[in-house]
Amino acid sequence: MESFDKIYSRAAERKGGDLALAYLLSQPLTNAELINVKDSDVLAEFTRAIFKSGFVWRIIEIKWAGFEEVFWGFDIEKLILMPDDMLERKAADTKIIRNYTKVKTVRDNALWLKEICDEYGSVAKWLAQWPADDVVGLWQYMKKHGSRLGGNTGPYALRRLGKDTFILSSDVEAYFRGHQLIDGGLMTKRSLTTIQNAFNQWQQESGYSLQELSQIIAYSVGDNRVGFSANTERKNDE
C-alpha cells in the first residue's frame, strides 16, 4: 500500500501545489460542534440524500423549501405520529418530489431516530461518539436500521452533517482498484474492511481527518486538471 506522503505529493502536483490543494480541502465538524446539530437537521439530511439518490440533485435543492414545509421542518416528534393516509397525501404534494417509496422513509427514519434520541439524548450525540476508525460500521448500522441509507446515501448525508467520514466516490474507488487493494464488490465486508484499514493507517501517518484524506485520494487520481486560480471552487464531495 502506498504511503500517505506519496499520495499527497501526487495530489498536490495535480492541483497546482500545496497551497492550492489545501484550499480545496474541507474539514468535518469537531465532536464538540457535532453534538449541537439538531435532530431535525439529521433527519432532513438523511431525507435529502435519499431523494438525491438516482435523481437530479439540482432539482432537489430547488424544491427543498417545499420539503421543509411539507414535513414540518422535519420535526421528529410530529412526523412519528403521521398516519398512513396523511403520508399518502404528502407523497402527492407538488411541493416535493412525488415518490411514495422515498416519502415513506421520512416517517420510518423519524421512528428510528426517535429511538436513538431516547437512548443517547440526541442523534448528534450518538453520531459524535461513534469512533472514526470504524466509520464503515456506522454505515452498516445505518443501512440495517435506517430506511434506504445504504450505498453512498448514508455517507453523503453524514458528510453534509459534519460527521467525519470518507466517501467512496468513483475516484476513490478507482484508486483502491487501480492499486489492487480491492477486487470484489465495493460494499462487501471484505472491501470495506480493507478500505477502512487503509484510511486508518493514512490517518495515523498524516493526522488528517477522514474527510480530508478522502478528498486527497480523489485528487490524486482521475480527471484532475493541474492549475489553480482564485476563482477555483472548493470540491466538497469527491
CB–CB of 23/232 below 8 Å? yes
What local confidence, expressed as pLDDT, does residue 238 receive? 61
Instruction: Give yes or no for residue 85 having a pLDDT over 70.
Output: yes
Q: Which residue has the higher pLDDT, 224 or 73?
A: 73
What local confidence, expressed as pLDDT, does residue 232 receive? 46
Of 56, 50, 101, 93, the residue nearest 71 (C-alpha): 93
Instruction: Give yes or no for residue 201 having a pLDDT over 90.
Output: yes
What local confidence, expressed as pLDDT, does residue 234 receive? 47
What local confidence, expressed as pLDDT, does residue 119 receive? 98
Tell me the C-alpha to C-alpha distance, in Å, between residue 181 and each of 2, 31, 68, 172, 174: 10, 31, 42, 12, 10
CB–CB of 222/170 below 8 Å? yes
Kindly list the structural domains of the chain, giving each domain's residue range(s) and its CATH number in brackets, ordered by start. 4-28+166-219 (no CATH), 31-134 (1.10.340.30)
Diameter of the chain measured on Cα atoms: 57
CB–CB of 206/213 below 8 Å? yes
Query: What does the pLDDT look like over 135-190, one tens digit per residue?
Result: 999 999 999 999 999 999 999 999 999 999 999 999 999 999 999 999 999 999 99
Positive or negative torsion for Cα 64, 65, 69, 75: positive
Q: Across residues 215-221, what is the average pLDDT?
A: 96
Query: What does the pLDDT look like over 24-59, one tens digit per residue?
Result: 999 999 999 999 999 999 999 999 999 999 999 999
What local confidence, expressed as pLDDT, does residue 155 receive? 98
Three-state DSSP at 175 gives helix
Cell numbers at 15, concatenated: 492541483
What lies within 8 Å, CB to CB, of 89 at 6+ separation is none
What local confidence, expressed as pLDDT, does residue 224 receive? 59
Q: Across residues 3-10, what is the average pLDDT?
A: 97
The single-letter code of the amino acid at 135 is V
**Counting every residue, how long is the chain?**
238
Alpha helices in the chain (DSSP H): 4-15, 18-24, 31-34, 39-52, 57-62, 64-70, 76-79, 84-91, 100-120, 123-129, 135-145, 153-161, 170-178, 189-206, 210-219
